[in-house]
A = this chain, B = another copy of it.
Amino acid sequence: MAKITIRDVAREAGVSISTVSNALNDVDVLNPATKMHVLEVAERLNYIPNLNGKMLKSGKTMMLGFFTTSVAGPYFYKLVETMSRQCERHGYGLNVFVTKDKHVIMSNILGRRVDGVIIYEELKIDEDDIAVMEKDRIKAVFLDREFKGETMGSVIFDSYTAGYEAAKYLIGLGHKRIAYISGVDTMFDSVQRREGYRAALREYGLPPDDDYIIQGYFEEDSTFNAIKAFIRSYGHKLPDAFLAGNDLSAIGCIQALKAHGYEIPTDISVVGFDDIDIAPYFSPPLTTVRNPIARQGILAIDRLVGMIRGEEEGLSQKLPGELIVRGSSHVNIGRADRR
């Protein structure tokens, strides 16, 4: 069965294609009676306009693209869920591309498969790519870097200050040996949090030690393994607190410490970032810096839609975190080295 086009509807209804088009797009120039009739025929034939024709002609796809290296973990899926919902509110669809292939990204963006893009690609998009996008006046919002241009902007979490505040909080509890569990160095948030942490350490006279930077890849199981390995090598001089780059690694870290018989937070404090859904239900409930993921998603979409509509220019927004103190942190009573 061949696909029904606007011409089929026109023929069947005994009108011209432009009349059909006008009827379907609610252009109030038609005789109400004919409009009704056309709509009926379209309904009867199960006519659905071909979006490719529509998009080509109008130059609009009514789709926004989200380019990301991953959707794994609470941070990403929460972001996707919120953005998706916000898109629907603006009448757009959200196209999620999970890829690390820059060529795929660029050809989809520049090939106009979407009207605008949200980018979280861990710096795979470089200066040159951005220049090309700017020349084409692509509308874009970055989530993984600061940027401000005419048609492109950014909405980021202030990870630097969050890292600084979290470290300061741990120092305030009396901790002296504070380790940082990082993601990878292409991740903006991981690096920013680490630098904030370092700044706080320096400020309070605790020299940052590179041995205390542990690669946890922002995942639970890899952190679990990393911490186990760490304990094996540094068991004699374990940190009295861990600042984990995100809640997932905080959880992995706690599991590993527990497995070695340490009690959290009595022996060792652990603080995370994000405040994911399960943070309050974990045992112990996680102390963490809340990342306004939902707000970030909503703002990103709003900015993007604003730029597409030509109502706003790109701007760079930075969202503050909020320290949520729960059960995984505790004043230091010097029990980390009990064995």
Binding site for B on A (CB under 8 A): 1, 3, 46, 48-56, 61, 63, 70-73, 76-78, 80-81, 84-85, 88, 93-99, 101, 104, 106-108, 110-113, 132, 135-137, 219-221, 224, 251-252, 255, 258, 277-278, 280-283
- Knowing A77-B73, A278-B221 are in contact, say whether A48-B107 is a contact too (CB < 8 A): yes
Cα-based distance from A93 to B221 in the complex (angstroms): 29
Cα-based distance from A219 to B78 in the complex (angstroms): 14
Q: Are B71 and A99 in contact (CB under 8 A)?
A: no
Residues of B within 8 Å of A93, CB to CB, are: 97, 99, 104, 108
Q: Are A112 and B50 in contact (CB under 8 A)?
A: yes
Q: Are A78 and B84 in contact (CB under 8 A)?
A: no
| Minimum CB–CB distance for A70 against chain B, Å | 7
Number of copies of this protein chain within its complex:
2
* 19 further interface pairs, Cβ-Cβ under 8 Å (given A54-B111, A71-B77, A220-B281): A1-B135, A46-B132, A49-B107, A51-B107, A55-B55, A55-B56, A63-B113, A70-B81, A71-B84, A72-B78, A73-B77, A80-B96, A81-B98, A84-B99, A88-B104, A93-B108, A220-B277, A221-B281, A224-B281
Q: Which residue of B lies closest to A281 (CB)?
A: B255
Residues of B within 8 Å of A72, CB to CB, are: 77-78, 81
Residues of B within 8 Å of A3, CB to CB, are: 112, 136
| Minimum CB–CB distance for A99 against chain B, Å | 6
Q: Which residue of B lies closest to A61 (CB)?
A: B52
Instruction: List, sorted by A's number, 11 A–B pairs whose CB atoms are closer than 8 Å.
Output: A1-B135, A1-B136, A46-B135, A49-B107, A49-B111, A50-B56, A52-B52, A52-B56, A52-B61, A73-B77, A219-B277
| Minimum CB–CB distance for A229 against chain B, Å | 15
Residues of B within 8 Å of A220, CB to CB, are: 277-278, 281
Q: Are B98 and A84 in contact (CB under 8 A)?
A: yes
A70, A95, A106: most-surrounded residue (chain B CB, <10 A): A95
Q: Are B96 and A48 in contact (CB under 8 A)?
A: no
| Minimum CB–CB distance for A284 against chain B, Å | 11
Q: Are A111 and B81 in contact (CB under 8 A)?
A: no
Q: Which of B55, B71, B137 contacts A81 (CB 8 A)?
A: B71
Cα-based distance from A108 to B55 in the complex (angstroms): 12
Cα-based distance from A56 to B136 in the complex (angstroms): 22
Cα-based distance from A99 to B55 in the complex (angstroms): 21
Residues of B within 8 Å of A112, CB to CB, are: 3, 50-52
Cα-based distance from A282 to B252 in the complex (angstroms): 9
Residues of B within 8 Å of A132, CB to CB, are: 46
Q: Which residue of B lies closest to A278 (CB)?
A: B220
Residues of B within 8 Å of A280, CB to CB, are: 221
